Amino acid sequence: MLFREPETAALEALLFVAKSPLTCEQLGEILELAPAKIEELIYELRDRYLPNSCGLILLEINGGYKLGTKPELARYIEILYKQPVQVLSNAALEVLSIIAYKQPVTRGEVDFIRGVQSDRALTTLVDKGLVKEVGRKDGPGRPILYGTTEQFLLHFGLRSLADLPNLEIEELSSDEVASALE
């Protein structure tokens, strides 16, 4: 539809340069369009980027949208930027998994679940922007609570935490965790 091309082009440009995902409301405010109109344009863009011949993909993350490159093209982008692939250690992956599934969670709770200290792995995850402080737990010392970030969702190609695979995890009561931490 010819009359929509300027709107679609503007939307595409915003999604391409955005540092973080933009919601339909944010896009509507910038483009001075109703959120319902933005949703229509989003669906048009999604269809435009579906073919295999296209190198971009429309990502939906936490109710927002962003343009990104298709994961199968990552090796070419790495060559361009000559950045080595950053691999997380097994310890960092363990900590990240615990935080993703149990958030919000304290470092002490992560340590208890792993059976070892997690300071270094947690610091690495915070430095990489995959985990952040999300508050403080009520109780002695008011320990910091950690949760995942939008960067975590983006990095692992998830729309939301609901897209995490279901796991069978033995649930511990908060009393069990508290008594083990004492």
pLDDT in tens, 27-67: 999 999 998 999 999 988 888 888 777 888 888 998 899 99
Helix (H, G, I), strand (E, B) or coil at 16: helix
The one-character DSSP state at 60 is E
Q: Within its chain, how far is the Cα of 126 from the centroid?
A: 13
Question: What is the set of domains in the chain, with CATH numbers?
Answer: 2-80 (1.10.10.10), 90-181 (1.10.10.10)
Whole-angstrom distance, CA of residue 45 vs CA of residue 33: 16
Q: State how far the Cα of 56 lies from the Cα of 77, in Å rounded to an integer.
A: 12
Backbone angles phi, psi at 62, to 5 degrees: 50, 40
- Express each pLDDT in 109-152 by its tens digit: 999 999 999 999 999 999 999 999 999 998 888 999 999 998 89
Rounded Cα–Cα distance for residues 70 and 52 (Å):
9
Q: Is 71 helix (H, G, I), strand (E, B) or coil?
A: helix
CA distances from 122 to 99, 110, 118 (A): 10, 9, 6
Ramachandran angles phi, psi of 29, nearest 5°: -65, -45
pTM of the model: 0.60
